[in-house]
Each structure stands twice: as structure tokens, then as C-alpha cells.
Amino acid sequence: MASSLDSRAFVPAQPMLPRPFRVLENRKENHDTFSLRLGCADGPKPFDFSPGQFNMLYLPGVGEAAISISALAPRPGCVLHTVRAVGALTKALKTLKAGDALGLRGPFGNGWPLEEAEDGDAVFVAGGIGLAPLRPALQRVLERRRRYKRVILLYGARSPAEIIYSRELRRWRQSGAVEAHVTVDRCAGDWKGRVGVVTNLLEGMYFQSGKSTAFVCGHEIMMRFSAAELERRGVAAERIHVCLERNMKCAVGFCGHCQFGPEFICRDGPVFHYPRVRGRLAVRAL
């Protein structure tokens, strides 16, 4: 077994003070999604984090948003975020070019408890941009591939054009280290892959209860249905982990925006054991 340090949450020394970072690269993933590779503005410094943690990205005069860290550092001192341009801040982030400055607070939150999956199967279920917070977890598992039995990725996207990390998906599939299955909601033309919701990818799969651990990230509705299907296929509820991203604002549990029953998603999450939040996810007014 790995040490408990594997899933420890790293915390910044000064959590409320944004540190200056610069854009090293802004890469287009699809029509509204892009990846920012960032580096510390005052020279390369180590940036430790646990897969599943997030940073607060800040643009003066525009605002701040919680964005998951979406890859293990390609180089020491680098941090990578994949962002979907949907609001004022994320649309402004999309326009950044190499050399532009921004503020960063973090890392915050907990991480995916990957050590729980050791000696068994690790199942990753991602919907849309939900693949981004899971990618560093998958990369970490692949670094330690021998500790796991089957490593399965089930990924659903809106259309073939909206699949992110397609080169990496191909590489994972070709390496044989990951059973990577991709499906899209709709398509036309020459797509030869699967069409249907991500839960369809679980058809025909059966898992050994107590030996398989699932990590699920996407829209809450998709996570509810995926968790139900995973349970039906043998994954024990207590071995299902979901990532919530409701209303995170301050990242340190002060402001209360992301309060979810007795917990704050930014401080106590964003990764939760599914049984811990299942009841609350069903509360319509919450």
C-alpha cells in the first residue's frame, strides 16, 4: 500500500494572497475549451499539488474563479489548467497569450484518494470538461501502473469535435495501459466510435465488489446516473468518489457560497465519497 501522503492535500502558505504567474502557453482544446500552461512569474518554483485539487485564477478587474488542476506538471514549476469559456472570467482567460500575467491562489481542496484503488481496478468516468480534473489522477495511476489491476476510462463528450485531450486518449489506448472508451452524444459524418451517453459504456462490464474503485467527474446529473450504474455493475457505493463544483468562491471555507449541508465544497471537497453526499444531492432545494 502507498503511504497516506499520496492523497494529502497541499495547502498554500498564504491562502488569500494571489501569487503572480505568467502564461507559458495557451492551447486550444476545442471551440470553447483551452489549456493554460502557467509558470511562476519570478522564476521556476516547485508547485506541489494532489490530483483533484484546484487553484483560484485571478485577473485584476475581471474576477477570480476556481479551476481544477488538469495535469501533472509537464516541467517543474509548471501548472496546467483546462478551462471552458463560459463566463466573464473564463472568456477573458481564453484571450491570454504567452507572457501575459495573472494571479493564482492555491492549491486548495482535497484530492482523489487513488491509494484506495490500489490492488484493484481503477475506473474513471468523465463527462465533457470533467475529464480535466481526472487527468492528473489518471496520469498518477499510470506512473504507478503496477499497483493497479485494470485501469478503465469511460469518457463522454458532446460531439467528436468536443473531445479534449484526443492525442493523449489515443496514446493511452495504444499503450494498452488504459482501457479507454469514448462516446459522444451526437455526430454526423465519418465518426466510427460510439454514440450514446457515458453510462452506456458500462454495459457489459462487471466489477468485483470491494476490489474496484470509481472516480467520477462531470455534471451532477451525469454523476448520479453513473454512480447508480456503477453500483448496479458491482462497485460498492463507498468506493465511488465524485467531484462537486458548486459555487466555489473564496476557496478556504470563509464565505459560505459553496456550503453544502454541513460542509464547504472548497474546504471539505471537492472530492467526496459518494455515500457522504448522495442524500444531499437528492435534496431538490439544496
Partner 1 sequence: MERKLEALLEDHPFLINFPKRYLSLMAGCAKNVRFATGRFLHREGEPSDAFFLLRRGRVAIEIHVPNRSPLTVQTLEAGDMLGWSWLTPPHRWRFDARAVEDVTAFALDGACLRGKCEADHELGYQLSKRVLACVAQRLDATRLQLLDLYGLQP
Q: Are strands 259-260 and 240-243 parallel, antiparallel or unpaired?
A: unpaired
Q: Is the dihedral of CA 153, 157, 159, 161 positive or negative?
A: negative
Binds partner 1 by CB under 8 A, chosen from 200, 234, 255, 259: 200
Query: How far apart are the C-alpha atoms of 134 and 121, rounded to whole Å?
Result: 16
Residues 38, 80 contacting (CB under 8 angstroms): yes
Min separation Cβ 69 and partner 1, Å: 16
Closest by CA to 81, choosing from 104, 109, 112, is 104
Binding to partner 1 (CB under 8 A) within 146-175 occurs at 156-158, 162
Give me the residues paired with residue 132 across strands.
none
Instruction: Please report whether residue 130 would count as binding partner 1 according to CB under 8 A.
Output: yes
Distance of closest approach, residue 40 Cβ to partner 1, in angstroms? 28
CB-nearer residue toward partner 1: 99 or 189: 189
Closest to 275 measured CA to CA, from 233, 228, 232, 234: 228
Taking the least distance from each CB to partner 1, the nearer of 205 and 240 is 205
CB of 147 to partner 1, least distance (A): 30
Distance CA 105, CA 10 (A): 12
63 lies in the site for partner 1, by CB under 8 A:
no
52 in contact with partner 1 (CB under 8 A) = no
Where b means 16+ CB within 10 Å and e means fewer, 78-112 reads bbbbbbbbeeebbeebbebeeeeebbbbbbbbbbb
Q: Determine if 188 is a binding residue for partner 1 (CB under 8 A).
A: yes
Total residues interacting with partner 1, rule: CB under 8 A? 35
Q: How far is the CB of 109 from partner 1 (least distance, A)?
A: 14
Stretch that binds partner 1, among 6-14, 44-52, 100-108, 180-188 (CB under 8 A): 180-188
Q: How many CB atoms lie within 10 A of CB 17?
A: 9
55 in contact with partner 1 (CB under 8 A): no
Question: What are residue 104's DSSP bridge partners?
Answer: 19, 57
When binding is defined by CB under 8 A, the residue of 127, 241, 268, 269 that contacts partner 1 is 127
Closer residue to partner 1 in complex, CB, 18/127: 127
Per-residue HEC secondary structure of 202-248 comes to: HCCCCCCCCCEEEEEECCHHHHHHHHHHHHHCCCCHHHEEEECCCCC
Q: Choose between 145 and 232: whose C-beta lies nearer to partner 1.
A: 232
Q: Give the span between the Cα atoms of 182 and 153, in whole angstroms.
A: 8
Q: Cβ closer to partner 1: 28 or 219? A: 219
Q: Which residue in the set 191, 254, 275, 279 belongs to the binding site for partner 1 (CB under 8 A)?
A: 191
CB of 161 to partner 1, least distance (A): 12
Among 225, 260, 264, 274, binds partner 1 (CB under 8 A): 225
Q: How far is the CB of 65 from partner 1 (least distance, A)?
A: 11
Residues engaged in binding partner 1 (CB under 8 A): 86, 127-130, 156-158, 162, 183, 185-189, 191-197, 199-200, 203-204, 218-222, 225, 244-246
